[in-house]
Structure 1
Amino acid sequence: MRLAVAVATLGGVGRLRPAPGSWASAAVLPAVLLGPLPCLLLALLLAAAGFWAVRALGPAARGDPPWVVVDEGAGQLLALAALPAGAGLAGALLAFALFRALDILKPGPVGWADRRPGTAGVMLDDLVAGALAGAAILLLRLLWPGVPL
């Protein structure tokens, strides 16, 4: 149970106030320095660990309590994976802002994922938000090839 709590809180970041989801998203931002592929691999690792932890916590994680932030970490890493290698602070801040906006506002597919029952509902909304933020970044890079990220 202790390991599941440590994973779910992203090593305790989920206990920070206010806005533990934003703290968790910010905590993974330095991963942008590793490049797109490591960010993607870390996102997959955190997502798998998060599904395990939330399932292991059972009723304690029901309803997506604010201290469960591993999903925010995984979603933010998906958004960071869309940035080019060598992306700087501007790119990381753009990925952060897009991901947090999608996670908080829960438009369309993010809201649908959030309404899934159980572990899926806890994890999927942030993964979908991260994927959409990443898609928006990739579209921006396609439409504006020289965008300074």
Structure 2
Amino acid sequence: MNRLMEFIATGFYSGKLPKMPGTWGSILAAILLYFLWPTNLKFQLLIIFITFILSVISADYVAKELGNKDPDCVVIDEILGMEIALLGLSADIKTVFLGLILFRVIDIMKPPPIGFFEKLPGGLGITVDDAVAGVITNVILRLIGGLL
């Protein structure tokens, strides 16, 4: 297996940690976002675009190599979902923590329409369901922020 593709798809190998690989990938994303998330919306969108492309390509590659439609070790999609969850929002500790919790709950429960996107082929299906979970998380974070 191509080491670079594996490194990217597994979120710097965080997806290879024991138990709950998606949660480990999301925690890694939360830490990176807290320390490195730019305040400039254009830079955020650029990062999301690059992560999306890397996710589709690397997830597809690893899934084919492992002969598994959606391998647990692939967590680049969770990283993308967390980025989308914080799009246009402040990466302060409360928002990042709440975003992490909400994103994981939504990603695990997969409320409609998320399940539909999982059925897309290859890396696209692996990636887009988490992107949609990120959008839902972002909307909820904005609603919560508006209420507070």
Provide TM-score, normalisation by structure 2.
0.85
Aligned-pair identity (%): 30
Task: Output the amino acid matched with 2:29.
Answer: V
CA distance in 2, matches of 1:49, 1:83: 23
* Residues 1:65 and 2:71 aligned together: yes
Residue 104 (structure 1) aligned with residue 108 (structure 2): yes
Aligned to 2:85: 79
User: Equivalent of 1:134, from 118, 135, 138?
Assistant: 138
5+ unaligned residues in a row in structure 2: which ranges? none
Task: Say if 1:82 and 1:138, in contact at 8 Å, map to a contact too.
Answer: no
1:74 shift after superposition: 0.6
1:15 aligns with 2:16: yes
Superposed displacement of residue 29, structure 1 = 1.2
- Alignment size in residue pairs: 142
Q: CA-to-partner distance for each residue in 1:16-67, whole Å, 9 max, x for gaps?
A: 1110100111101131343453444323221110111123332526321100
**Conserved 8 A contact 1:4-1:53:** yes
- Post-superposition CA distance 1:99-140 (Å, at most 9, x none): 101100000011111222322221111111011101111233
TM (norm. structure 1) is 0.84
Distance in 2 (alpha carbons) for counterparts of 1:55 and 1:81: 25
2: distance between equivalents of 1:120 and 1:14?
A: 18
Gaps of 5+ in 1: none
Which amino acid is 2:77 matched to?
A: D
